[in-house]
Every structure is written in structure tokens, then in C-alpha cells.
């Protein structure tokens, strides 16, 4: 969402990873950005301007002295229009020219002329990347305030193993989004809980629920994008941790309880999006339970209500905002409102699990936010990331 309506100047230089720029253009446009591609002459050996022109829907800039193109757009106009310049792949040569302030082609000239932030995504052979000259040039770019997404490790096109692969494209998108997002949560310590808990009754079996963790992870990701220091306490899920967050993995409700209780006093905001199991088996068998051919009874005992405890023990010395979730299958508003009060929350995000496009596992959610004053606002069905943005907008208003 951070990229919606933004103008991205995508600089493509001449390395084999230039072929990935096609997918990058697609991802940026899918995220709602306009992409103006600028290619070096060597990049055109790896991918044609036509490919990137079709994908971006914009004429691609290649030749500084193209009479027709310059009369229509002009490189200074391209430099001015950009909200962010992304160089992917950035070769050692482009990085060196940028560090030295050389402007001998379209891309390097535009980069000298733009005041937009610059995101450099190096991709090259390991030895070239490790070369002192390249490292010094990257250091120089950092002193200019440019952002760098480090290349990853792996097998490179030259068959060598090592660092030099272009960073994963979703990571480049996430960093771009972060650069373009105002740091409205800078200095805030935030804890987000997410995912299900597993309550074991023998070493291989447990009681749980289908929570995917997507909602909590989106909440953590949006907070990190707004520059909060984020602790993500996650039950077992199969999605990767959002960039820039500290991930704490837990399995059971008791583990989640112990960790959150330890971290809570330092937090400015706690959002409990985890689907914490209310009960756990009273006994954990040391070995796998044998099939005996008759019914099996498992006695369950109460788990602590983590959120209710946090509501009772809010720190005196600082303003701490507590947000809970209420997943309901009936009487949504009544049940959510009584939880809001019982757990002493600032607001509660209520969703109806019986509604399509809502709740466990989906990429979307349709929620209602109910606060202490009794205000109850129903949001339309949105992507979980958009719901997360609305939640943080609301939290930021409480800080004001
Ligand atoms: O009462 P209920 O479980 O429906 O409340 C849901 C809210 O309480 C969620 O925010 C959930 O993360 C939190 N919760 C908790 N500890 C539990 C159960 C739920 O913190 N044992």
C-alpha cells in the first residue's frame, strides 16, 4: 500500500540479473506505483527496452541524446518526477560511477539530477562485490544517504557460490515501501502476537486452531514500515517474518504468556492478534498415546488470558495502548464490547468468522473497530495489510 500512487524510477544496469527487472516492474505496478524505466546501454544486451516498456506502460529512457524522446520528456523532468530511484540490478560499474558523480549516460545523469531517495540493489560476481573498490564505493553511497539492499548468497550465474545475487524482489519492494512511508512510529516499542498456539497432550499430538498468522504478521510489518521497534511473538505458522521485526517463536499459550509478560512493561503498544488457545490438556503424556479401541477423554484446564492480565497490569509510568481481537461466530458487537471492557483495552478489532473473506487463513478481512467511547466503525472487506494500516492509523490517533 505504501507504493500506491508513487513514481518509481527504475534504473537497470548491465548484469545478468537485468532479466529480473521485468518482474520487478510488474510487482511495482501491481502495488499501484508508476514505473519509469531507465536502462544503460549494457542492460539492453540482457533485456530489451520493449519488454520493460510494455510491462511499465511508459516509454523507456535509454539515450540521452535521443532528439524525439528528449523533446517529449527530458531527463530533468524524469529526475524531478521520481519519488524514489531504485537501481536493480546495480552493477559494480554503476555503483562506482554513482560514488564518483560521473554522468556519462541517461541513468547516471538522471541520478545526479534527482533529489529523490535512491535505493541501490547490487548484483554481481562475488569477487567483484567483495573487491575493496566496490566496498568503498558502497560505503560512499551510504554517506550520501543512499539506501542499500544487500545482495544475497547463493549460486551465481558465473557458477561461483557466494554473495552477489540480487536480493529477493519482494524484499526490494518492502524496503522501497519503507523508504516512502513516513516514520510516524519512530521511537515506539511495539509487541504484536500472532498465529495459533499448540497445546500438546502427547509428543506428537496437540489441540489448536487454523490461524495462519497473516493478520498479525501484516500488523507487525506495517508497524516496522512506520519505523517502530517491533517484537513479533508468533505461534507456529508457515509464513516468513516481516523484514525489520524481531521474531520470537513460541508454541504453547503458556510459552506465549511467559514471553509476553516479560516484554510487556517496556512496550508502548501491544496488539494481541494471536488466536491463543483458551485451554490446554491437563496432562502431557511422555509417549505417544496408544489406540485402545475405546473413546478417549482428555481433560482440559484453563490457560491464562494474557490480554486480560496485561489490561490489569498496565504500567503506571507510561501510556501503553492495548488492542485486542475478537473473533466471533455470533453477537459480534455485544461480545466484542464486553471483551473490550473486561480486558481494559483501548480498542478491539472484531471479526465475524462466519462471513466470507474474513478471518482465519484469508488474505482479506472484514472487521469492526470498537473503542472505549462506544464508537463502533465497520471497515469494508480489505486486504489484511490494509486492515493493519487502519489499525495503526487508529493507534497513532490515540498517541496524539
Ligand atoms: O476472550 P477471547 O479469547 O475471545 O479474546 C480474544 C482476545 O484475547 C485476542 O486478542 C487474543 O489474542 C486474546 N487472548 C489472550 N489469551 C488467551 C485468549 C485470548 O490474550 N488465553
Judge residue 167's burial from the number of C-beta atoms within 10 Å of its C-beta, 0-12 exposed, 13-18 middle, 19 or more buried. buried
Q: What is the value of pTM for the model shown?
A: 0.91
Q: Do both 160 and 215 map to the same domain?
A: no
- Looking at residue 114, which CATH number applies to its domain? 3.40.50.1950
Query: CA angle at residue 293 from 290 to 294, to 5 degrees?
Result: 105
Q: Is residue 2 part of a domain?
A: no
Rounded-to-integer distance, Cα 191 and Cα 33, Å: 30
Question: pLDDT per residue over 204-215, tens digit each?
Answer: 999 999 999 999
CA 50 / ligand 1 centre spacing (Å): 54
Q: Is residue 72 part of a domain?
A: yes
Q: Do both 32 and 57 map to the same domain?
A: yes
Domain that holds residue 116: 7-179
Q: Do both 259 and 372 map to the same domain?
A: yes
pLDDT of residue 73: 66
Q: Is residue 184 part of a domain?
A: no
Q: Do both 173 and 209 map to the same domain?
A: no
Q: Which of 145, 179, 213 is the last residue of a domain?
A: 179
Q: Do both 125 and 217 map to the same domain?
A: no
Q: Is residue 126 part of a domain?
A: yes
Mutate which of 257, 272, 348 for ligand 1 pocket (most atoms within 8 A of beta carbon):
272
Q: Is the CB of 303 under 6 A from ligand 1?
A: yes
Q: Do both 336 and 204 map to the same domain?
A: yes
Rounded-to-integer distance, Cα 333 and Cα 351, Å: 9
Q: Which of 148, 179, 210 is the last residue of a domain?
A: 179
CA 232 / ligand 1 centre spacing (Å): 16
The answer to whether 61 is a known catalytic residue is no
Q: Do both 95 and 236 map to the same domain?
A: no
Atom index in ligand 1 nearest the CA of residue 325 equals 10
Query: How many separate domains does the chain show?
Result: 2
Q: 199, 253 in Cβ contact below 8 A?
A: yes
Low-confidence ranges of the chain (pLDDT < 70): 67-68, 71-73
Q: Is the CB of 272 under 6 A from ligand 1?
A: yes
- Looking at residue 287, which CATH number applies to its domain? 3.40.50.10300
DSSP letter at 358 equals: -
Q: Is residue 262 part of a domain?
A: yes
Q: Do both 17 and 142 map to the same domain?
A: yes
Query: CA angle at residue 389 from 233 to 119, to 5 degrees?
Result: 90
Rounded-to-integer distance, Cα 65 and Cα 70, Å: 7
Q: Do both 338 and 361 map to the same domain?
A: yes
Amino acid at each position: 500500500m505504501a507504493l500506491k500512487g508513487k513514481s518509481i524510477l527504475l534504473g537497470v544496469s548491465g548484469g545478468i540479473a537485468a532479466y529480473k527487472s521485468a518482474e520487478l516492474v510488474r510487482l511495482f505496478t501491481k502495488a499501484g506505483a508508476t514505473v519509469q524505466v531507465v536502462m544503460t546501454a549494457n542492460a539492453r544486451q540482457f533485456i530489451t527496452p520493449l519488454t520493460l516498456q510494455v510491462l511499465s506502460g511508459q516509454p523507456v529512457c535509454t539515450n540521452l541524446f535521443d532528439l524525439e524522446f528528449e523533446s517529449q520528456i527530458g531527463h530533468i523532468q524524469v529526475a524531478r518526477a521520481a519519488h524514489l530511484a531504485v537501481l536493480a540490478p546495480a552493477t559494480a560499474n554503476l555503483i562506482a560511477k554513482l560514488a564518483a558523480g560521473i554522468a556519462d549516460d541517461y541513468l547516471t545523469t538522471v541520478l545526479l539530477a534527482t533529489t529523490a531517495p535512491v535505493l541501490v540493489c547490487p548484483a554481481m560476481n562475488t569477487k567483484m562485490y567483495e573487491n575493496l573498490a566496490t566496498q568503498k564505493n558502497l560505503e560512499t553511497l551510504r554517506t550520501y544517504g543512499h539506501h542499500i539492499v544487500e545482495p544475497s548468497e547463493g549460486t551465481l550465474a558465473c557458477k561461483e557460490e557466494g554473495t552477489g545475487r540480487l536480493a529477493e524482489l519482494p524484499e526490494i519492494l518492502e524496503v522501497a515501501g519503507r523508504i516512502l512511508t513516513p516514520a510516524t512510529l519512530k521511537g515506539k516499542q511495539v509487541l504484536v502476537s500472532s498465529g495459533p498456539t499448540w497445546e500438546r497432550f502427547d509428543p506428537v499430538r496437540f489441540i489448536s486452531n487454523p490461524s495462519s498468522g497473516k493478520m498479525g504478521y501484516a500488523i507487525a510489518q506495517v508497524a516496522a514500515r512506520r519505523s517502530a521497534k517491533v517484537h513479533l511473538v508468533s505461534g507456529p505458522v508457515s509464513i516468513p517474518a516481516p523484514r525489520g521485526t524481531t521474531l520470537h517463536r513460541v508454541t504453547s499459550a503458556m510459552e506465549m504468556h511467559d514471553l509476553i509478560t516479560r516484554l510487556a512493561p517496556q512496550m508502548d503498544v501491544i496488539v494481541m492478534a494471536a488466536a491463543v488457545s483458551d485451554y490446554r490438556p491437563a496432562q502431557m503424556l511422555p509417549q505417544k498415546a496408544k489406540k485402545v479401541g475405546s473413546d478417549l477423554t482428555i481433560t482440559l484446564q484453563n490457560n491464562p488470558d494474557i490480554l486480560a492480565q496485561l489490561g490489569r497490569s498496565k504500567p503506571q509510568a507510561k501510556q501503553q495502548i492495548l488492542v485486542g481481537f475478537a473473533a466471533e461466530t455470533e453477537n459480534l458487537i455485544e461480545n466484542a464490547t464486553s471483551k473490550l471492557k473486561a480486558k481494559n483495552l483501548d480498542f478491539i478489532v472484531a471479526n465475524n468468522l462466519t462471513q466470507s473473506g474474513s478471518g482465519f487463513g484469508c488474505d482479506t478481512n472484514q472487521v469492526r473497530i470498537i473503542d472505549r467511547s462506544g464508537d463502533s466503525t465497520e471497515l469494508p472487506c480489505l486486504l489484511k495489510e490494509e486492515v493493519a494500516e487502519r489499525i495503526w492509523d487508529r493507534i497513532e490517533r490515540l498517541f496524539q
